């Protein structure tokens, strides 16, 4: 590796976005947040949309700050975001409407509409993707069922990061890791699942070429260079799905015996595999096969993660009580353990107007006394997440045939000591927490490999381990969780 290399990572999450300067020097990597901004979806006439134009404006503002701090030359720029959401462009490459948010209600009932034409098992056998009503497949079906003219007018289909990369570089492409989240991709064919989509009556002519993580799309577009004072910096597609980037930064040693939990608004609980695992058992457990970096797949289950706590916090704020996350964690340690648990993936929790009330409704429905106060509510959420992680990891062990001895918790959830210890106890294995900024790190490291500054994924992971301290948690009271886990498992949807 050369002495110093510097990359810009743009990391967009469901709540906020950051533009980060990543510097590789002396065998380590460091991150500096140059610009942080909120991601505030908008409700318009009952519909739920991303404010994508404003997000792009914020990205350009962040790029300008990078140029101001470090000059015009960088070794690359990479964008990662969430999965499943997309934009359609017309023949002039203009947007055909505002991009929808995956929590918009238009997909209600669309899974059933799809299964009337293509059986559920056939959809899974073709795509290997977990069934969630928010998947792109059901968003496209909603457009078809509503008679939207956008489907006929569309000439390009770009996932959210693909769209932003297009606006940055002027080059359109569908990046692999995000394309696989759509439930419109056939991993065995290595291409879009065109026969299945055509059977459903969904056009496929607008589906573009798929590029692998690390592909250089082109130099920064002249218009963006003029606005930001950056030079012709290469725009590189990392794993544009944020979990794909996060998993690339897991500081794991070896190929087996470890799992990861990328813990933020969602919790992605999984294994890294050399190929997709699509069987009757993975269908039964609703496991998903999402594309990874450098020939890998991510066999995982999406769990509704810290979204529950985030939404509770918003409800309490509306009621005039503002709590910091550290304060909530400290309060929860004083609450009675195992008083109540919920399935984080129950439909009640997808997008309620009042999350604490939704939790109380779930408890009433399942014959449990609801949490009596804020501390009990937080404790309920944390223990429920740990129990759901346990459920997923046990099933990953069954389908993979390997024993998981270490769980890496990456992302913001790694800062929650109560959650990390609960996970170690529930899963009866060692937990290593960190790095917190795994997504930004993975984004930068894939760029660095593409630019020839690092040799391999193993080199990148070793660099992460050298650069950031990890916090270890070991099981303290694993047996205490078994009885609660048995009750919890019975209530799962």
Alpha-carbon span 450 to 338, nearest angstrom: 48
345 catalytic residue (yes or no): no
For tokens 């573009």, name the residue.
208
Q: Mutual orientation of helices 325-332 and 307-318 as an angle, nearest 10°? A: 100
Which run of H or E residues covers position 29? strand 28-38
DSSP state of 373: S
* Cα angle 446-450-456, degrees, rounded to a multiple of 5: 65
Q: Which two tokens stand for residue 378?
A: 């937080």
Which listed residue (104, 162, 242, 343) is catalytic? Answer: 242
Give a three-class secondary structure readout of 263-276.
Answer: ECCEEEEEEEECCC
Alpha-carbon span 79 to 237, nearest angstrom: 7
Cβ density class 39-74: b for 16+ within 10 Å, e for less? bebeeeeeebbbbbeebbebbbebbbbbbeebeeeb
Alpha-carbon span 261 to 386, nearest angstrom: 11
Backbone angles phi, psi at 151, to 5 degrees: -65, -40
Query: Which active-site residues does the annotation give?
Result: 242
């Amino acid at each position: 590796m050369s002495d110093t290399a510097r990359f810009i990572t743009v990391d967009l999450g469901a709540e906020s976005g950051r533009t980060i300067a990543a510097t590789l020097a002396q065998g380590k990597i460091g991150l500096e947040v140059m610009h942080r901004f909120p991601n505030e979806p908008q409700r318009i006439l009952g519909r739920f949309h991303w404010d994508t134009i404003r997000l792009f404006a914020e990205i350009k503002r962040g790029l300008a700050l990078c140029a101001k701090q470090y000059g015009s030359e960088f070794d690359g720029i990479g964008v990662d975001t969430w999965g499943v959401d997309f934009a359609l462009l017309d023949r002039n490459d203009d947007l055909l409407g505002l991009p929808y948010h995956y929590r918009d209600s238009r997909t209600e009932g669309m899974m059933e509409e799809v299964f009337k034409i293509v059986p559920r098992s056939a959809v899974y056998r073709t795509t290997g993707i977990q069934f969630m009503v928010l998947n792109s497949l059901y968003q496209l079906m909603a457009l078809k069922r509503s008679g939207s003219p956008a489907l006929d007018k569309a000439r390009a289909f770009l996932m959210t990061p693909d769209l932003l990369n297009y606006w940055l570089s002027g080059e359109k492409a569908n990046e692999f890791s995000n394309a696989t989240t759509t439930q419109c991709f056939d991993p065995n064919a290595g291409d879009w699942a065109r026969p299945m989509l055509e059977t459903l009556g969904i056009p496929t002519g607008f589906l573009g070429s798929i590029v692998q993580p690390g592909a250089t799309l082109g130099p920064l577009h002249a218009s963006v260079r003029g606005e930001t004072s950056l030079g012709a910096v290469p725009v590189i597609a990392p794993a544009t799905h944020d979990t794909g980037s996060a998993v690339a930064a897991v500081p794991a040693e070896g190929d087996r015996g470890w799992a990861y939990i990328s813990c933020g608004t969602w919790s992605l609980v999984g294994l890294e595999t050399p190929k997709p695992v699509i069987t009757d058992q993975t269908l039964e457990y609703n496991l998903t096969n999402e594309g990874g970096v450098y020939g890998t797949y991510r066999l995982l289950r999406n769990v509704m993660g810290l979204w529950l706590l985030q939404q509770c916090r918003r409800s309490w704020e509306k009621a005039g009580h503002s709590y910091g996350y550290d304060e909530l964690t400290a309060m929860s340690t004083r609450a009675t353990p195992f008083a109540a648990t919920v399935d984080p993936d129950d439909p009640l929790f997808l997008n309620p107007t009042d999350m604490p009330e939704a939790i109380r409704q779930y408890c009433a429905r399942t014959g449990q006394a609801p949490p009596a106060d804020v501390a009990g509510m937080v404790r309920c959420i944390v223990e429920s997440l740990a129990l759901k992680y346990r459920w997923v990891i046990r099933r990953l062990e069954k389908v993979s045939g390997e024993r998981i001895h270490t769980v890496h918790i990456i992302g913001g959830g790694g800062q929650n000591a109560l959650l990390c210890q609960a996970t170690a106890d529930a899963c009866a294995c060692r937990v290593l927490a960190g790095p917190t900024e795994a997504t930004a790190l993975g984004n930068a490291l894939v760029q660095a490999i593409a630019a020839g500054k690092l040799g391999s994924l193993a080199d990148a992971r070793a660099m992460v381990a050298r650069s950031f301290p990890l916090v270890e948690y070991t099981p303290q009271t694993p047996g205490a969780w078994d009885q609660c886990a048995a009750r919890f498992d019975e209530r799962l949807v």
